[in-house]
Amino acid sequence: IQHDLLAAIDAADGLDGLESVRVSALGKQGSVTALLKTLGGMSPDERLVQGPRIQGLREAVTTALAERKALLERAVLDARLARETIDMTLPADALPAGTIHPVSQVMDELAEIFADLGFAVATGPEIEDDWYNFSALNIPETHPARAMHDTFYFPEGGEGEKKMLLRTHTSPVQIRAMQAAGGDKPIRIIAPGRTYRSDSDATHTPMFHQIEGLVIDKGITLGHLKWTLETFLRAFFERDDVVLRLRPSYFPFTEPSAEIDVGYTLVNGKRVIGGSEGWMEVLGSGMVHRKVIAAGGYDPDLWQGFAFGCGIDRLAMLKYGMDDLRAFFDGDARWLKHYGFSA
């Protein structure tokens, strides 16, 4: 019986077959179990002889079963490993990747260009009070510029509470930067960010992006302003033939003020930045008004500065050739795939 059982165990070529052999030997009705049961009916002498033999049989069968089982399990594992090998030399599937939004791309480009010119990046809140957004920038309560800005106001608070609004431009960061610097240090910052006006058509969206620039130092002149903007625009449009035109203008917070036009050339009916066939307005600028320097905590008799502000979305459209600003903020994946940048 031992010989037969060991042969059956050896012959079992699967775990299920082996289990059947185990049941046939050691199960309740198994042949070895049956032999063990006979021990009870034996005389002590007989049991002394047969006991070790039957126990020996049981141990031999148990050991053989365990060894065979380990062998078969090992074979199953080997087969699975063989089946599941990975060819590490095959190219991996590409992960679905998003794109960098043109506005983010342009913000990064601007920060990089201005970093080379020694400008740090400053930020301010999008929810402002009317002092930072208007009064400190020399736009008093009754000033028509307040109406011109199509401001989103929050519902009025109680008596004496600040009037809160969504900032209509990044210029309040001028005041915040001056306050943070403490009135006695030169400043060179840009402040990119979201701005809001109640306006919407192909070139205006209620939320849009501006970048503010502010330099405060001693002996700053319009010449510094012009050189800085020319250097910036040439770097941004990646052309040495970018020509600037300073057009006298008016902003309450700068005096004198100038709007900056860049020249373009018509190539196959399309406007290409560079040359001077025509002019396109790109930013507002000027020498920081004495009252604004004072509102920022600087002495206007000692410190001068220039400031500029421009639409980031507009810059992106000009450089990368989109024509509808609203598409910037629709979140259409096809548009983002087409105009977005890879990381």
List of residues contacting ligand PHE (CB under 6 A): 169, 171, 251, 254, 284-286, 307-309
277-280 long-range contacts, CB within 8 A, separation 24+: 279/245, 280/318
- Specify the 3-state DSSP secondary structure of 303: coil
Residue 18 or 210 with smaller CB distance to ligand PHE: 210
Residue 135 or 285 with smaller CB distance to ligand PHE: 285
- In terms of residues, how long is the chain? 343
Measured from the CB of residue 155, what is the shortest distance to ligand PHE in angstroms?
24
Q: Which residue has the tokens 């080379």?
A: 116
CB-based closest residue to ligand PHE:
309
How many Å apart are CA 181 and CA 296, to the nearest integer? 9
Measured from the CB of residue 188, what is the shortest distance to ligand PHE in angstroms?
15
- Cβ burial, residue 121 (10 Å; 0-12/13-18/19+): middle
Residue 308 or 328 with smaller CB distance to ligand PHE: 308
Convert 258-294 to b/e letters by CB count within 10 Å (16 or more is b).
Answer: bbbbbbbeeeeeeeebbbeeeeeebbbbbbbbbbbbb
State the first-to-last Cα distance of the chain, in angstroms, to the nearest integer.
74
Measured from the CB of residue 228, what is the shortest distance to ligand PHE in angstroms?
13
How many Å apart are CA 170 and CA 285, to the nearest integer? 13
Residue 19 or 230 with smaller CB distance to ligand PHE: 230
The answer to whether 59 touches 25, Cβ cutoff 8 Å, is no
Measured from the CB of residue 177, what is the shortest distance to ligand PHE in angstroms?
12
Measured from the CB of residue 292, what is the shortest distance to ligand PHE in angstroms?
9
Residue 242 or 307 with smaller CB distance to ligand PHE: 307
67 among the known binding-site residues?
Answer: no
> What phi, psi does 88 have (nearest 5°)?
-70, -10
Measured from the CB of residue 296, what is the shortest distance to ligand PHE in angstroms?
13
Residue 102 or 286 with smaller CB distance to ligand PHE: 286
The answer to whether 261 touches 281, Cβ cutoff 8 Å, is yes
Binding site for Mg(2+), by residue number, is: 255
Detail the residues annotated as belonging to a binding site.
Answer: 255
